[in-house]
């Protein structure tokens, strides 16, 4: 039963094509249409 579930899940899994971008996303980087966008740093007023 578990074997069949794992096989079914593997058929639906998709590899991350931008695995090198995962640390950037976890650090708070923003992406728009697949391109990283720089946000201006906000200063306290």
Per-residue pLDDT in tens (0 to 9) along the chain, 45 residues: 788 888 887 777 766 677 788 898 889 888 888 788 887 677 766
pTM of the model: 0.44
In terms of Cβ atoms closer than 10 Å to its own Cβ (0-12, 13-18, 19+), residue 21 is: middle
Q: Where do the domains of the chain lie?
A: 17-45
Distances in whole angstroms, Cα of residue 39 to Cα of each of 9, 14, 23, 28, 31? 37, 30, 17, 11, 10
């Amino acid at each position: 039963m578990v074997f069949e579930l794992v096989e079914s899940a593997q058929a639906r899994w998709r590899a991350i094509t931008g695995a090198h971008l995962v640390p950037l996303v976890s650090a708070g980087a923003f992406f728009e249409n697949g391109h990283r966008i720089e946000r201006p740093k906000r200063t306290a007023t």
